[in-house]
Structure 1
């Protein structure tokens, strides 16, 4: 099987898919995010010396992992993305065993993430790679904007920050690569959020009770 040739077909298909399914409400889960995930997964595949078959699995899973956002609600998008990948790869003559590996990598990204092998661990860390980067604040704002657009409801910034703090505190990178490269950055992002939380609480504590309706 010529993995590189099939990967090129997959890449072209996903690019066309996102072009055709453009959705202005998806400010985070879009082609830019997918491309980032593919880039990070490919980088980790090289770091771990994966062979062509293994690299094909994680890269293909990365291309398809968020396509389900464009075919239904956020809930269950992983399953829909896995099904789309399965149908597409089957039409290309990819063996069922290999298709299932791709699908399991996609399904490993369901929160809370529970990867069962290195390939799934790589997929999980590639998906949440931004947790440990300087781009986290920007990506987090895009995620908040996406939820607001999808629900039609404005989210209080303090509530969103609290939820994000809980998310980062409960998360851990699954690969040694992720822990070594990204854990420190995630810790800094978490500390930054907590400082903002503390400042907000201090400001509120200086507001007269009459202003708070108490």
Structure 2
């Protein structure tokens, strides 16, 4: 498996083909998810080299479907994985696992008991428990506005409260790192509604 080639390929494709109105789901998000996935994998004690490479590949490809579609981008990302990674030395089993990881990030997240999927899901929504939650969530709101998919600000804030209340981190490491701060963001979101 030629991970460097897969990485170079997808990063070049994302740079060239992602819409400039993907204010949240842009290349910066993919790189953030990659960094968080690697950090969480280390914290979770994942040491198997192949597992780490497959997680890295899944993180880089997890939102690649946005190059062609907004709704159903996870499926489109899996199609890209299936079309391109065999030529880069990935086996059918490795490709299947990468697709399982990508599909786990579809809302509502569903990683099941697959540890790598839990890590990727937590990395994907890591910002919920970070100090930069508000500016990042605003980029999602603006992205949805650009597509005519955003509710008014009151409904958006209600949705933020609902999302934060319904969200759970899947790994012990993400829970330890982010849950307390996420609860603080929830309290702030609830205060905005009053």
How many Å separate the matches in 2 of 1:15 and 1:69?
A: 13
- What does 1:1-214 correspond to in 2, within 5 Å? 6-50=2-46, 51-72=48-69, 74-116=70-112, 117-151=114-148, 155-198=151-194
How many Å separate the matches in 1 of 2:118 and 2:13?
A: 26
Q: What secondary structure is seen at the aligned counterpart in 2 of 1:62?
A: helix
Pick which of 18-27 and 176-185 moved more: 18-27
Q: Which structure 1 residue ranges, 5 or more long, are not aligned?
A: 199-214
> Rg: which structure is higher?
1
Aligned residues: 192
The CA RMSD measured in Å over matched residues stands at: 1.3
How many Å separate the matches in 2 of 1:177 and 1:8?
A: 27
Q: Which structure 2 residue ranges, 5 or more long, are not aligned?
A: none
How many Å separate the matches in 1 of 2:133 and 2:73?
A: 22
Q: What secondary structure is seen at the aligned counterpart in 1 of 2:147?
A: helix
Please state how far the C-alpha of 1:154 moved relative to its aligned partner: 6.2
Which of the pair has the greater relative contact order for Cα pairs under 8 Å at 6+ separation? Answer: 2
Please state how far the C-alpha of 1:56 moved relative to its aligned partner: 1.1
Please state how far the C-alpha of 1:121 moved relative to its aligned partner: 0.2
TM-score, normalised relative to structure 1: 0.86
CA offsets 1:22-55 (integer angstroms, 9 cap, x no match):
4121111010000000000111122223211110
How many Å separate the matches in 2 of 1:48 and 1:21?
A: 34
Please state how far the C-alpha of 1:10 moved relative to its aligned partner: 2.1
Please state how far the C-alpha of 1:93 moved relative to its aligned partner: 2.3
> 2:141–2:150: 8 Å Cα contact kept in structure 1?
no
CA offsets 1:93-137 (integer angstroms, 9 cap, x no match):
211011111110000011111112101100100100000001110
How many Å separate the matches in 2 of 1:93 and 1:154?
A: 41
